[in-house]
Copies of this chain bind each other. A is one copy, B any other.
């Protein structure tokens, strides 16, 4: 019996003693995983077994769905106790998920200072720098000495989980630089802070999108970045552990959207709920598919003439779909990582059309030859080959064009990839195929 099975057995037996002991020796992140994987009905009970020290950290680590369950059954008093122990960003995330009445109750129980901070944090958009930053940071005045700075840092050290950077503020609270710990650690005690601070630093404003924040961290290898308001006053900091979460979240969001689905919760909830999330997209595609069907009906005169044409429908559709997915994936990902330079849209489009044409020639020739060999009908072979070439080239083009158009319309480009592009490609691909067939075969047989 492995670890996971052991834990499950103990949960099903409601073995309180064993579980309490097991939790007390485990990392909050590991306990969170146990809660996430447990049946919905067990989550609240399991959470109640946690000690006062662990409960806040575990609540901050569990997935949204699990947190919602637990929060439903916690009263405002216990909840306030937990909130008080958390870093401001985590506290704000949890409070933000509460129903308004309960949220107010919890806020009323918080200390005045924490209440103000939390209200402020709740005002920022969830996916902006303001929404992911914490208000805990260590800052010193630009007018003191290194020794005085150390005193100021000591006084603040307890509040902050990790000191990565010490920020330097002028008398108006504006961020003017940062003080590398290493330098502070190695310099003489009476050196002025303004002498050893580094005035060059990247700042983020509260309204920056979290994906852009993540790109900045990964590009410049930061561990923490200060966040300022419009007046340049320091209001918080974002640390790299939050950015790791953002990256995971954004990746997962992208890839789910590309599959025509949505968000995190998929892995946990019931088949009925999941089906309800995914169905809308499928229904749209279903109607798209019906348009393809009517394309075929429209050309049924051609079809009755040469039944062999039908045999090549799937391969032309599939290849168009594949190319479309390739070029759209590369475009969506390139936009998300900032690796695609949007001022070069035209070059990008031409390049992808070029790639599409090359692959179209290769695949068109192969399928044409196979058609010629199988049916010994050379006009058919020509139609099939040309249709394949056109379908591939057009699909490659649509695959780049759609994400760019979506971005222009301020819709997430990831939505464009996946089922949406596949459906458009099917319709266009079949249209080209039967048009060519009608023109070439119709003209030849009439």
* A→B interface (CB under 8 Å): 2, 4-5, 27, 29, 37, 153-154, 157, 162-164, 181-182, 185-186, 217-223, 240-241, 243-245, 247-248, 251-252, 254-256, 258-261, 266-267, 271-272, 274-275, 278-279, 281-283, 285-286, 288-290, 292-294, 296-297, 300, 303-304, 307-308, 310-319, 321-323, 325-326, 329-330, 333-334, 337, 339-341, 343, 351, 354-355, 358-359, 362-363, 366-367, 370, 418-419, 422-423, 426, 430
Kindly state the separation between the CA atoms of A343 and B6 in the bound complex, as whole angstroms: 12
Chain B: minimal CB distance from A26 (Å): 12
**Pairs of residues from A and B, 6 with the lowest C-beta to C-beta distance, nearest first:** A289-B315, A221-B241, A292-B314, A259-B329, A271-B354, A275-B358
A282: which B residues are within 8 A, CB to CB? 319, 322-323, 359, 362-363
The answer, among B252, B330, B423, for a CB contact under 8 Å with A259, is: B330
CA–CA, A251 and B310, complex, Å: 39
Measured in the bound complex, the distance between the Cα atoms of B310 and A300 in whole Å is 9
- Mostly helix, strand, loop or mixed at chain A's interface? helix
Find out whether the CB atom of B319 lies under 8 angstroms from the CB atom of A286: yes
* Distance between A324 CB and nearest chain B CB, rounded to angstroms: 10
- Distance in angstroms from A371 CB to nearest chain B CB is 9
B286, A366: Cβ atoms closer than 8 Å: yes
A423 to B304, CA, bound (A): 27
Partner of A29, one of B219, B241, B267, B286: B219
Q: Quick one: closest B residue to A247, CB to CB?
A: B247
Asked if A310 and B313 make an inter-chain contact with CB atoms under 8 angstroms apart, the answer reads yes
A10 → B minimal CB distance (Å): 15
A394 CB to closest chain B CB, in angstroms? 15
Given contacts A282-B359, A283-B366, 15 further A-B contacts (CB under 8 A): A4-B343, A5-B343, A218-B244, A252-B337, A255-B255, A256-B330, A271-B354, A271-B358, A282-B319, A282-B362, A285-B319, A289-B315, A290-B370, A293-B314, A300-B311
Residue from A283, A323, A355 with most neighbouring chain B CB atoms (10 Å): A355
Give which listed residue, B288, B323, B340, contacts A267 with CB less than 8 A.
B340
Which of B181, B186, B286 meets A181, CB within 8 Å? B181
Neighbouring B residues of A311 by C-beta, 8 Å:
293-294, 296-297, 300
Q: B182, B283, B321, B355: which contacts A157 (Cβ < 8 A)?
A: B182
Contact between A186 and B154 (Cβ–Cβ < 8 Å)?
Answer: yes
Inter-chain contacts of A343 with B (CB < 8 A): 2, 4-5
Q: How far is the CA of A164 from the CA of B294 in the complex (A)?
A: 64
Is A317 in contact with B314, judged by CB distance below 8 angstroms? yes
Chain B residues closer than 8 Å to A340, beta-carbon distance: 267
Complex Cα gap A37–B347 (Å): 12
B339 touches A315 (CB 8 A): no
CB atoms of A359 and B278 under 8 A apart: yes
Q: Which residues of B contact A294 (CB under 8 A)?
A: 311
Inter-chain contacts of A182 with B (CB < 8 A)? 157, 162-163
* Neighbour of A426 across the interface among B154, B181, B278, B314, CB < 8 A: B314
B422 touches A318 (CB 8 A): yes
Assembly CA distance A181 to B166 (angstroms): 13
By a CB distance below 8 angstroms, the chain B residues around A164 are: 223
B326 touches A312 (CB 8 A): no
Residues of B within 8 A of A271 (CB): 351, 354-355, 358
Shortest beta-carbon distance from A271 to chain B in Å: 4
Distance between Cα atoms of A186 and B163 in the complex (Å): 13
Known: A259-B326, A326-B260. Contact between A186 and B157, CB under 8 A?
yes
- In the bound complex, residues from chain B placing their C-beta under 8 Å from that of A355 are 271, 274-275, 278
